[in-house]
Amino acid sequence: DGGITQSPKYLFRKEGQNVTLSCEQNLNHDAMYWYRQDPGQGLRLIYYSQIVNDFQKGDIAEGYSVSREKKESFPLTVTSAQKNPTAFYLCASTPIEASSGNTIYFGEGSWLTVV
């Protein structure tokens, strides 16, 4: 079945470390997104990409980096510059054709905790 997969489900980061969250989709979607969710809060956009080798900053991009070398993959790196990275991270994908109003697919999320 087609879908979007995030890994790992749980990740612990030491102070000063960079960590990378994986997001893979086999839906042939052009657009992919990363969101951060703090407990009891809504989703905030970190980065998004509409095409391979191109991506745009969202509302809270500082301390994060992404790459889009392949259509199916959009990994998120949480760098040591991100001072408060403990949160739930969600990846999403959707076809780029806005006229069709296609459904947005979400991964199951990754919990990142600083220890």
Partner 1 sequence: DAKTTQPNSMESNEEEPVHLPCNHSTISGTDYIHWYRQLPSQGPEYVIHGLTSNVNNRMASLAIAEDRKSSTLILHRATLRDAAVYYCILRYGNTGKLIFGQGTTLQVKP
- The residue count for binding partner 1 (CB under 8 A) is 27
By CB under 8 A, tell whether 60 contacts partner 1: no
CA separation, residue 39 to residues 13, 52, 60, 67, 111 (Å): 18, 32, 16, 27, 11
Using CB under 8 A as the binding rule, whether residue 74 contacts partner 1 is answered as: no
CA 10 to chain centre: 14
Is 42 one of the binding residues for partner 1 (CB under 8 A)?
A: yes
Residue 81 makes contact with partner 1 by CB under 8 A: no
Q: Does 23 bind partner 1 (CB under 8 A)?
A: no
C-alpha–C-alpha distance, residues 63 and 57, integer Å: 11
**Binding residue (CB under 8 A) for partner 1 from 25, 35, 46, 78:** 35
CB of 25 to partner 1, least distance (A): 12
Tokens standing for residue 60: 């809270």
Binding residues (CB under 8 A) for partner 1: these are 30-31, 33, 35, 41-45, 48, 50, 56, 88, 90, 92, 94, 96, 98-99, 101, 103-104, 106-109, 111
